[in-house]
Amino acid sequence: MHFRDRAAAGQELAQALSEFAGRRDVVLMALPRGGVPVAAEVARALALRLDVIPVRKLGVPGHEECAMGAIAQGDLYFLDQQVVSEQELTETQVDHVMAQEQAELQRRCRLYRSQRSIPDLSRHTVVVIDDGLATGTTMRVAVAALEQAHSHEIVVAVPVGETETCREIETIVGRLICPHQLSPFYSVGSWYDDFSQVTDAEVVKMLHR
């Protein structure tokens, strides 16, 4: 199973989310940058409102692809103490990574959301979309941020995900929709023929369609 690209994955995911088509009480919240092209296709196919929730992974110094946590808009963060302990990271190292990623998060908030806070979502069903679920670290923080915004219901929707991670995420949200739950998983990018990096300009363009 491979997707041609994120747009193709979004088109397939839209079919799995067809029950939400045209509903004014539903908001799509994409995790930038990779989740935006997926969510944009869902928004187009189902006539739904598209927004973003900036989240940044906290990578282990020297092994940045390994997540030790994540941060989100609203000063929310999740730190995996087991990873911090296993990697023998000092408090100074963790603080340095958090400061770097906080600066990038603020830049993206200015660019994508014009510094707008997450709106009150107490009367909305929020569908959180990313291009896949590997460890689920960034998704956990995104969910926490949306809970802080008093979301009426949170649904996580991804085209592909690691089986156990999908089970774990499903326990913290109302529903999880993932057409392809796989193990072994390797990485999100391994399930895409084209997994090229999404640019800021592309994100902004998709948000203003």
User: Does residue 115 register a pLDDT over 80?
Assistant: no
pLDDT at 99: 94
User: Does residue 116 register a pLDDT over 80?
Assistant: no
Best CA proximity match to 32, nearest among 52, 12, 46: 52
pLDDT at 58: 92
**DSSP labels, 51-69:** EE--EEEEEETTEEEEEEE
What amino acid occupies position 99?
A
Return mean pLDDT, the chain: 92
Best CA proximity match to 14, nearest among 182, 205, 157: 157
pTM value > 0.75:
yes
Higher per-residue pLDDT: 108 or 120: 108
pLDDT at 102: 93
Higher per-residue pLDDT: 103 or 118: 103
How far, in Å, CA of 67 to CA of 52, rounded? 21
pLDDT at 63: 86
User: Does residue 72 register a pLDDT over 90?
Assistant: no
* Domain at 6-55+121-207: CATH code: 3.40.50.2020
- Which residue ranges make up each domain of the chain? 6-55+121-207, 57-113
Half-sphere exposure in the Cβ direction for 30 (13 Å, CA): 27
Cα angle: 52, vertex 84, 176; to 5 degrees: 40
Q: What is the mean pLDDT of the segment spanning 163-168?
A: 96
Contacts of 15 (CB under 8 A, 6+ apart): none
Higher per-residue pLDDT: 55 or 37: 37
